[in-house]
Structure 1
Amino acid sequence: MRSTFMGLETNKRGLYTQQSALYTTGHNISNANTPGYSRQRVNMQATAGFPGVGLNTPTMPGFLGTGVEAGSIQRIRDGFVDQQFRGESNKLGYWESRSNAIAQMEDVLAEPSAYGLQQSFSDFWQSLQTLATNPENGGARAVVVERGVAVADSFNYIHKSLSEIQTNLGKEIGVSTKNINSILKQIGELNKQISEVEPNGYMPNDLYDARDNLLDQLSGYLPIEVSYEKSGGRALAIAEGTVTVKIKTNNPAQPFITVVDKSNVSQLKPVGDGTGGTDSEGNPIGNMTGFTFSGGPADGKELNVNDMQTAGVLKSLVNSYGYKDGADKVKGLYPEMLAKLDKMAQEFAKAFNEAHRSGTGTPPNNLTGKNFFEPYDIKNPGLADEEYDYSKLSAGNIIVNEAIINDHSLLAASSEAGEMGNGNNAKKLGEVLFAPLGGLEGSSVQSYYAGVIGELGVQGEQAVKMTKNSMTLLGAVSNRRDSISSVSLDEEMTDMIRFQQAYNASARMITVMDETLDKIINGMGVVGR
């Protein structure tokens, strides 16, 4: 026999369930502009029918419905789309960082322009041509010396500026590593909180969102793989559990490095080839060799630079800053450019000095054997070619011989001593700029530098193109994810009206049941009177 008050209980459940749905709708509307928020819904389910199942169950037609209940409150999220988003975010992080590094290099080199190294070479060559026709002219000699100083200064400026940017990239590696470590710690803390809530039968949806936001951020730095482990206890079947985070590598012997396992978290530290590996702020000293891990599941493991996948901000910064490969050869955008500039300065100075030593200055000195260019730390104007160590000369320290700066008569414009009008050697000096040099792969200084700039332009164009492509793909995936997980105010308003009407209907049913009971209790007469 069913209870007289069964109708009240059934519709009370309806009131409570629709009320929960309204509260959830309000929560969604309130977080419509919250970054990373996933809309939530109440999973409604019918309660067990009457009578129940068992040997003593009375026989009666069918099951009588007893109402509705909120089985769970679930956020709307698609794990596959999340995986796609993190993959594209990883690619965008790499190319965006590389594009920025190349753009800074292009700003320093400033080619083509009226102030770059190429223009300094051109001005130097023109001054030598003028000197060849007027070798006895003191003003022409002064211009050659000053234009030579301008060439050296251009080398110095470029080398110093690129070195400063490289140092800043090293600091960015340190900052990025700290950010990664902070994100890993926060993920571990959220894992701990989630593992404490889920066994009680609750769904910590806002904690899930916070954790996914951190995973999205982490994917911009490193290629990661994410898996989940159930919490146990009374956790719901749809509960996500704790997350395990692994870094993907190119090493077949170690394809993954686990950095987060429940609340156990590993920390990264960059390692450079300099003494101590990193400075007091965690920035690498010298060229990068890789990363070490401390604490957590990856304690004591190492990630060699060559084992890092070409993806993410961290690998891009390492590639730009510089690293050592297995053969201890230094690679990377900035060290390779600095090495090319050093090589160009050495070969140019060597060829120019050789031509300069073969000529003579103006009387009464008529000196020969003078080097025009030299390293700033070697103050020996009379150093002979076989004694000159060009490995000590670089784009960062090349200068014009101070003796020639102080006495322009030492500028060897003539091919014969005592001939004031002889400008043959000045012409020979000008030819150095366009002569093929063995140390520059048979190219002249001008063509070699043009090739370096051209190669940089191609790399920059590729980085910009890949950045735009990655942005487009990430935008498409992001829009797809938003269509699934983000809050639509129109949809929420529709749900609000729907739940409100259902709430009102349940309340009206309670009123009906109240009137029915009132008739039964107060309106029915007493038999026999």
Structure 2
Amino acid sequence: MSTFMGLETSKRGLFTQQSALYTTGHNISNANTLGYSRQRVNMEATAGFPGTGLSAGTMPGFLGTGVQAGSIQRVRDGFVDQQYRQESNKLGYWDSQTKAISQMEDVLNEPSAYGLQKSLSEFWQSLQDLAVNPENGGARAVVVQRGQTVADSFNHMHKSLTEIQTNLGTEIDISAGQVNSILKQISELNDQIQKVEPNGYLPNDLYDARDALVDELSGYFPIETSYEKSGGRASAIAEGSVTVTLKLKDGTKVELVNRSEHAKLETNPSSLHDVSTNENNSITGLKITQPNGTIVDAKHSNLLDVGKVKSLMNSYGTVDTDTNGVPIPNTTKGLYPKMIAELNKMAAAFGDQMNIVHTSGTDINGVKGGNFFDTKGPGPFTAGNIFVSEALMKDSNLLAASDSTGAEEGNGKNAKNLANVQFAASTILGGSTLQTYFQGVIGQLGVDGQQAERMTFNSATLLGAVEHRRASISSVSLDEEMTDMIRFQQAYNASARMITVVDETLDKIINGMGRVGM
């Protein structure tokens, strides 16, 4: 046993408690750093004396040689992290869905004093007034103007919905770019971690940065993570490089990050003009080029119903494709394409029925009436392509308010028939009247909006609970760190005092022995 063994033992205590104090200071400094996980020094006793082996000395038992800092580890719970990412994925979907529906509700603005329902009501009322005074020029002008107001309402809703849909498409592209940026950063952090771990170190701050990116990615996609050890002299608790995979509905797993390589996402816009919505805005899905170069066409129907990207695709609109990847006509679906298609059907039913009745009557001069509504260019009526005919806009006397019997010119009977269009069942609308059909569309939108808000609240509540549980494990508690600081400080002071005691003992042996009588 060395004479100076006590000094070495106490010195190890000093260095280890000093490392613990420095780590505590690091935790305190990062108490408000987003994504930071508190760290701790894993202290372990050093090998006892005299050790093992044939050459080892013999003594009654092992003598302790002190303590050392085995590793500096961050405090995380992988299971809680997984729960957090699952709930973040759900919230990403429903939050995006709520925003899309909310914007649609703002456009339709029903019930209100300025929406389509109000415009239609005023239009029907003007026709009823005209039926009472069919020769009144002012009443005729009011009918024409209110008919144009209805057309303007259809046009405005169509234009506004199309603009929002276009913005959603832009958001999909931006989200794909953000996802690509996140994947690139994760792969770069993997590369840095692979260079550090084989030296025996734990790059805790790099782990935190990587986990923060994985958390952010989970809002866009349903993902899974696995870890691969770095090799070399890597610590047993080193995490290694993360592999991130996207889970598809059919069970397929698509690699997004593999060590220092990452995938690339692209949207597939559809050039198909879908006659069911009379629109071009739709995508066929996502094209994902995996790290190994394999391309996966993640179509809309295959993605799980969670994640911000999924919600954006559902809102913007997708179109099915055949086995060759060619878009199939009349298969466009999605929140905004559906609403635009509903408005198109209403505009078609309204315009066609009004023209049928109007052309069956005669104007103030007894001439057979022409179309009440027209389109600009060929094609059926749509919400974005319905206008009062130019002839009527120029001369309201052409309004066919009378029936075509030839008797009682200006009798107003056809104006009454035009007003009764509101009660006529339409085959285009599945046997519903224009009013009841529109009420059903608005009612369904309200139900969908309530569900989205409820699911957003529930998802946010669950995510908050998981986040609180994770924070209780990984976040920095200043009270706890202050307690640890005092604890480590006292241990440091005790080790320093032990060195003083050993020093005094050695001083007595070295300088005091053999000096008897002096």
Shorter chain as denominator, the TM-score bin is: over 0.9
Work out whether 1:438 is the aligned partner of 2:427: yes
Q: Give the equivalent residue in structure 1 for 2:277.
A: none
Q: Give the equivalent residue in structure 2 for 1:116.
A: 115
Q: Give the equivalent residue in structure 2 for 1:261.
A: 258
Counterpart code for 2:74: R
In 2, the alpha carbon distance for the partners of 1:197 and 1:302 equals 36
In 2, the alpha carbon distance for the partners of 1:15 and 1:141 equals 99
Map 1:295-310 → 2, pairs under 5 A: 296-297=291-292, 299-310=294-305
Q: Give the equivalent residue in structure 1 for 2:476.
A: 487
Q: Give the equivalent residue in structure 1 for 2:362.
A: 360
Counterpart code for 1:492: E
Q: Give the equivalent residue in structure 1 for 2:385.
A: 397
Counterpart code for 1:183: I
- In the TM superposition, residue 527 of structure 1 has moved relative to its aligned partner by 8.5
Residue deviations 1:33-72 (CA, integer Å, cap 9, x gap): 1111100000000000000100111111110000000000
In 2, the alpha carbon distance for the partners of 1:32 and 1:367 equals 84
Q: Is the 8 A contact 1:148 1:400 kept in 2?
A: yes
In 2, the alpha carbon distance for the partners of 1:38 and 1:353 equals 70
Q: Is the 8 A contact 1:135 1:420 kept in 2?
A: no
In 2, the alpha carbon distance for the partners of 1:522 and 1:483 equals 56
Q: Is the 8 A contact 2:369 2:400 kept in 1?
A: no
Q: Give the equivalent residue in structure 2 for 1:280.
A: none
In 2, the alpha carbon distance for the partners of 1:77 and 1:15 equals 28
Q: Give the equivalent residue in structure 1 for 2:375.
A: 375
SS in structure 1 at match of 2:68: strand
2:346 alignment partner, one of 344, 363, 371: 344
Q: Give the equivalent residue in structure 2 for 1:58.
A: 57
In 1, the alpha carbon distance for the partners of 2:248 and 2:423 equals 47
- In the TM superposition, residue 9 of structure 1 has moved relative to its aligned partner by 0.4
Q: Give the equivalent residue in structure 2 for 1:330.
A: 332
In 2, the alpha carbon distance for the partners of 1:203 and 1:19 equals 18
Quickly say closer, same or farther: Cα 1:291–1:298, change in 2 above 3 A. Answer: farther
Map 1:146-295 → 2, pairs under 5 A: 146-252=145-251, 255-274=252-271, 286-294=281-289
Q: Is the 8 A contact 1:198 1:231 kept in 2?
A: yes
In 1, the alpha carbon distance for the partners of 2:367 and 2:195 equals 87
- In the TM superposition, residue 92 of structure 1 has moved relative to its aligned partner by 0.2
SS in structure 1 at match of 2:428: helix
Map 1:88-107 → 2, pairs under 5 A: 88-107=87-106
Task: Give aligned pairs, total.
Answer: 503
Counterpart code for 1:367: V
In 2, the alpha carbon distance for the partners of 1:319 and 1:79 equals 31
- In the TM superposition, residue 272 of structure 1 has moved relative to its aligned partner by 1.3
Residue deviations 1:314-333 (CA, integer Å, cap 9, x gap): 00000000001357300000
Counterpart code for 1:272: P
Work out whether 1:320 is the aligned partner of 2:308: no
- In the TM superposition, residue 175 of structure 1 has moved relative to its aligned partner by 0.4
Map 1:459-474 → 2, pairs under 5 A: 459-474=448-463
SS in structure 1 at match of 2:298: strand
Q: Is the 8 A contact 1:136 1:420 kept in 2?
A: no
In 1, the alpha carbon distance for the partners of 2:14 and 2:473 equals 28
SS in structure 2 at match of 1:32: coil
Q: Give the equivalent residue in structure 2 for 1:511.
A: 500
In 1, the alpha carbon distance for the partners of 2:472 and 2:506 equals 49
Counterpart code for 1:509: M
- In the TM superposition, residue 177 of structure 1 has moved relative to its aligned partner by 0.2
Q: Give the equivalent residue in structure 1 for 2:85.
A: 86
Residue deviations 1:155-196 (CA, integer Å, cap 9, x gap): 000000000000000000000000000000000000000011
Q: Give the equivalent residue in structure 2 for 1:131.
A: 130
Q: Is the 8 A contact 2:13 2:68 kept in 1?
A: yes
- In the TM superposition, residue 21 of structure 1 has moved relative to its aligned partner by 0.3
- In the TM superposition, residue 243 of structure 1 has moved relative to its aligned partner by 0.2
RMSD (Å), alpha carbons = 1.4
- In the TM superposition, residue 199 of structure 1 has moved relative to its aligned partner by 0.6
Q: Is the 8 A contact 1:120 1:150 kept in 2?
A: yes
In 2, the alpha carbon distance for the partners of 1:492 and 1:354 equals 82
SS in structure 2 at match of 1:438: coil
Q: Is the 8 A contact 2:254 2:290 kept in 1?
A: no
In 2, the alpha carbon distance for the partners of 1:27 and 1:80 equals 26
SS in structure 1 at match of 2:56: coil
- In the TM superposition, residue 81 of structure 1 has moved relative to its aligned partner by 0.2
SS in structure 2 at match of 1:228: strand
Tell me the TM-score normalised to structure 2 length: 0.95
Q: Give the equivalent residue in structure 2 for 1:382.
A: none
Tell me the TM-score normalised to structure 1 length: 0.93
- In the TM superposition, residue 287 of structure 1 has moved relative to its aligned partner by 1.1
In 2, the alpha carbon distance for the partners of 1:270 and 1:77 equals 36
- In the TM superposition, residue 306 of structure 1 has moved relative to its aligned partner by 1.1
Q: Is the 8 A contact 1:75 1:205 kept in 2?
A: yes
Counterpart code for 1:314: V
- In the TM superposition, residue 28 of structure 1 has moved relative to its aligned partner by 0.5
Counterpart code for 2:336: Y
Residue deviations 1:394-424 (CA, integer Å, cap 9, x gap): 1001000000110111100001447344010
Q: Give the equivalent residue in structure 2 for 1:448.
A: 437
Unaligned runs of 5+ in 1: 276-284, 379-390
- In the TM superposition, residue 528 of structure 1 has moved relative to its aligned partner by 11
1:496 alignment partner, one of 462, 474, 485: 485
Unaligned runs of 5+ in 2: 273-279, 323-327
- In the TM superposition, residue 523 of structure 1 has moved relative to its aligned partner by 1.2
- In the TM superposition, residue 293 of structure 1 has moved relative to its aligned partner by 2.3
In 1, the alpha carbon distance for the partners of 2:195 and 2:60 equals 45
Q: Give the equivalent residue in structure 2 for 1:409.
A: 397
